Homo-oligomer: A and B are copies of this chain.
Amino acid sequence: MPQENLGPQHVDYLMSVVGKEHVSVTAADREQHARDQSFHEAHLPTAVVWPASASEISAILKYANQHHIPVTPWGAGSSLEGNPIPVHGGIILDLLRLDRILAIRPDDFQVDVQAGVRYKDMNAQLARDGLFFAPDPGANASIGGMIANNAAGTRTPRYGATKDNVLRLELVTPTGDIIHTGSLAHKSSSAYDLTHLFIGSEGTLGVVTTATLRLAPLPEQFSAAVASFETVTAATRAVSGVMGSGIVPAALEFLNTAVVRELNGVEEFSLPERPTLLMEFHSATAAALQEELGLVRAICQGENCAAFEAGLGRDERDRLWRVRHQTYEILVRANPGVAFLIVDLAVPVSRFPDLVAACQGAMVRENMKTYLVGHAGDGNLHPLVPYQPGNEASFGLATAIHAEMVQAALALGGTVTAEHGVGIGKRKYMGQEHGRSLAVMQTIKQALDPNGILNPGKIFAETTFGNG
């Protein structure tokens, strides 16, 4: 049922560009592109299009711009803030067919990859050359989606977020120009940094088609360690101690007692049920790794850690990380009939204990289970706020608690989203976080997308799509 902004004649045009078999208006295809992994309300697109090239996307965007048709890019649908939900209908550009690794240049630590490739699949191939793309959001996101949301995950302390690992983009602007940003050189001061402007812009400024990513050598030596503490404050002081020691952990994760308890129960770990840090270290040499672990152990013992287990073998390490990435599913299974708002906040590292206390306090006050996980090395906390799906009062309370947590993060000098993006859920906080710079962002959006066709209704609360 095409909506007003996309009639049958428009569908015919889309078919003429990408081929009849790569456009769908069936209910099933539209429903599959109506929601991501978040709790946000589904919205049906009018049509789903699977283009195969930048030039096809260019033709579609030129046409959509001329006819004021909303266009929303779609990767793996694994985002967590409603980022690709087509709230104004129109066209979903599913980038699935941009599925090729175009070139691997091991000597330069670079890969040219199309936007629809999923990063885990890419990393499996890169491993043959001893390389990997480090950002690790957990879900098997597409490269385009990771760029759109500036995805990060567990490996940020050592390797950075997506934005720190992109050298060059090919993308299509809202008016259909195909442009390249950045350089294959690892260092450049050549005019405006458009690459970073597009990363994290959630498909509102352009459609990324190909990226040149900066890769890291697979670590020669790695080791995981688990440390348990008496208190959250002791655990987070140890985080500061490690980060200040000059050691750069590959991962530095926080799990609170309630989460550890569920992981023990479900996966038969025997972790001490206390505030816990899960760490990983990568090194070029075995001796360096051993000495780093010794130093970390001393730092943790300085905070009276109750237990410190290091030098985990590959199997145990892989199991720990698999479980860490499946925490949400494990908590859902452990709590039948309960869903969770996955909150994404970050503060300066020294305020991490305050953020943990504020989030825990709010949930305890409402007699909620208090599950907290986070990428502590970055000051990034993910409280999981429980609610009963279908129960409006319960969802309303969870939403209110979520809002309270956001205010706590802002009061601590933090950001309302560390790695999930603004999407739908965080739009209302943009004015509070960014103040007058929000107007500068809107000026840029207006200048590059004068008809507001690209992913309308995202990032900016006041965006309406009124010209269609």
Q: Count of chain A residues with Cβ under 8 Å from any Cβ of B?
A: 98
Which residue in chain B gives the minimum CB-CB distance to A436? B179
**Which B residues lie within 8 Å of A290 (CB)?**
287
How far is A200 from B188 in the complex, measured between Cα atoms in Å?
9
- Contact between chains at A185 and B440 (CB < 8 Å): no
Residues of A that sit less than 8 Å from B by CB: 105-110, 130, 149-152, 156, 161, 163-164, 173, 177-181, 183-194, 196-197, 199-201, 205, 217, 219-220, 240, 243-247, 282-288, 290-292, 294-295, 346-351, 375, 378-380, 413-422, 426, 430, 433-441, 443-448, 459
- Contact between chains at B192 and A441 (CB < 8 Å): yes
| Known contacts A285-B295, A287-B291, A292-B284; A193 and B196 CB within 8 A of each other | yes
The listed residue (B177, B184, B284, B436) touching A295 by CB distance below 8 A is B284
**Which B residues lie within 8 Å of A196 (CB)?**
163, 193, 196-197
Copies of this chain? 2
**Which B residues lie within 8 Å of A156 (CB)?**
187
* Interface hub of A108, A205, A445 (most chain B Cβ within 10 A): A108
| Known contacts A349-B108, A436-B178; A186 and B282 CB within 8 A of each other | no
CB distance from A314 to the nearest CB of B (A): 17
- Contact between chains at A194 and B288 (CB < 8 Å): no
The listed residue (B187, B191, B200) touching A189 by CB distance below 8 A is B200
How far is A44 from B285 in the complex, measured between Cα atoms in Å?
57
- Contact between chains at B193 and A346 (CB < 8 Å): no
- Contact between chains at A179 and B108 (CB < 8 Å): no
- Contact between chains at B185 and A413 (CB < 8 Å): yes
The listed residue (B190, B191, B285, B348) touching A185 by CB distance below 8 A is B348
| Known contacts A419-B187, A448-B443; A435 and B180 CB within 8 A of each other | yes
How far is A430 from B194 in the complex, measured between Cα atoms in Å?
14
* Interface hub of A149, A190, A414 (most chain B Cβ within 10 A): A190
